Amino acid sequence: MIDAIDDLLDPLYARLGARDQLRADERRELRAIAGPIRTFMAGTDMVTEGARVTRSTLMVSGYSIRYRMLAGGERQITAIHIPGDFVDLHSFLLKTMDHSVGALSACSVVFYDHKDLEAVTRRHPHLTRMLWLSTLLDGAVHREWIVGMGRLSAFARLAHLICELYVRLNVTGQTSSAHFDLPITQMELADTLGISAVHVNRVLQEMRDKALVSWKGSHIEILDWQKLVDAAEFDPTYLHLNQEPR
Amino acid sequence: MTRYFFDISDRDSTVRDDIGIELNNIGEAVAEARRALGEMLMDALHATERNHFEIRIRDGVEGPYLLWVSSDGISSADAAAAEAEKSAAKQ
């Protein structure tokens, strides 16, 4: 059972471990306070905007999104989360959700009760900083998305999203050479990039014509990494991938 | 819900949409196309790329409906601006 939980937490260990070494006692603590495992079907809400939450949700498999709905039914997706990400660690202190989290694909999660996280902050100062780092990384990704949304062309924005997801999935061992999965519809991609679904179609076509990526179903293969990076002006500094004492 | 298909043409080519998008009515489809045209035009203008875009909406029953927009027709009111526009296009 402990081995099974460790497998589930591997992406989290990898994500944090890429930034600073996690000690054995810290891993033990994350394992000990891991709550129940739950699965969500694609398209269902995992956390709802406005909810008062008492636990935080760690992704262990699948993909999820943070999003806001507007009055007219329009939606903006503000983050895509992968295994090893907390989707709402910030709710530990913010308490009320200011956005919703939905399952993009079928996903499974592990819950962490806020009272257990509070105990961690008293017993494990370094692990506390690592969890703080986790929310700081979320913030860094949000900033990068704002820059893209405000200043990049739709084509560059899509190129940037592909670069970012590839690098993030690579950290947690979910890529194989230049391949990765992204189970996302045209409409969901439109809501992520802040453009119309019709425009997404054109941008995808342009990406194929330029032979930067091959995109079949949910399967993405990067054909020309350097050209993709150049088109996206992708600089991974904001992902803070250096392992150093924090 | 109806599945609408949006074929997009620019100066060089036409891309036929075989996937389509589910929408409530043709009004929503036209709104979607207008938004896409605006976005494509904006990117073309930023890139000082002379182009025009056409979207043909098909629903398999009525239509097709045709919408188009162009970044060819930008004009500059005075000679200095026209000159600046020309040099921007060259870059």
H/E stretch holding B38: helix B26-46
* Cα distance between residue A16 and residue A158, in whole Å: 26
Residues in A touching B39 (Cβ below 8 Å)? 154, 195-196, 199
- pLDDT of amino acid A15: 97
ipTM over 0.90: no
Give the nearest partner residue to A196 out of B17, B35, B47, using CB atoms: B35
d(CA A179, CA A1): 31
Residue B66 has pLDDT above 90, yes or no: no
pLDDT of residue A1: 47
Residues of B in contact with A154 (CB under 8 A): 39-40, 43
What does the DSSP assignment read for B47-80?
Answer: TT---EEEEEEE-SSS--EEEEEESTT---SSHH
- Which tokens sit at A93? 């202190």
How, if at all, do strands B52-58 and B21-23 pair?
unpaired
What is the share, in percent, of chain A residues with pLDDT greater than 90?
94
The Cα–Cα gap between B88 and B91 comes to 5
Half-sphere exposure of A152 (CA within 13 A, CB side): 23
Q: How confident is the model at residue A41 (pLDDT cuts 50, 70, 90)?
A: very high
Contact call for residues A180 and A172 (beta carbons, < 8 A): no
pLDDT digits (tens, 9 = 90+) for A144-177: 999 999 999 999 999 999 999 999 999 999 999 9
**What confidence score (pLDDT) does residue B48 get?**
79
Candidates A149, A155, A196: best to mutate against B (most CBs of B within 10 A) is A196
- Interface residues of chain A, partner chain B, Cβ below 8 Å: 153-155, 186-187, 195-199, 201-202, 205
A6 confidence band (pLDDT: 50, 70, 90): confident
**Predicted confidence band of residue B76 (pLDDT cuts 50, 70, 90):** low
B14-15 and B65-70 strand pairing = unpaired
pLDDT-derived band at A5 (thresholds 50, 70, 90) equals confident
What is the per-residue pLDDT across A43-70, written as a single tens digit (0 to 9) for each?
Answer: 999 999 999 999 999 999 999 999 999 9
Average pLDDT, chain B: 81
Helix or strand (DSSP H, E) at A216: strand A213-216
| Furthest-apart CA atoms within chain A: distance in Å | 55
Q: What is the mean pLDDT of the segment spanning B50-67? A: 81
pLDDT of residue A184: 96
Average pLDDT of every residue of chain A: 95
- Using CB atoms, pick whichever of A153, A196, A205 lies closest to residue B36: A196
Q: Is the pLDDT reported for residue B88 higher than 70?
A: no
Alpha carbon distance A53, A151 (integer Å): 35
Q: Which of B54, B50, B47 is nearest to B10 (CA)?
A: B54
Please tell me what DSSP assigns to residue A207: H
Question: Residue B62: is its pLDDT beyond 80?
Answer: no
pLDDT in tens, A194-234: 999 999 989 998 999 999 999 999 999 999 999 999 999 99
B81: confidence class by pLDDT, cuts 50, 70, 90: low
Per DSSP bridges, beta strands A75-81 and B65-70 are unpaired
* Mean pLDDT on A73-96: 95
Pairing mode of beta strands B14-15, B2-9: antiparallel
CB contact under 8 A, A198 and B43: no
What is the full DSSP assignment across A24-79?
HHHHHHHHHT---EEEE-TT-EEE-TT-B-SEEEEEEES-EEEEEE-TTS-EEEEE
The pLDDT value given to residue B36: 93
- A-chain residues near B14 (CB < 8 A): none
User: What is the predicted pLDDT for the residue at A105?
Assistant: 97
Assign A96 to helix, strand or coil.
Answer: strand
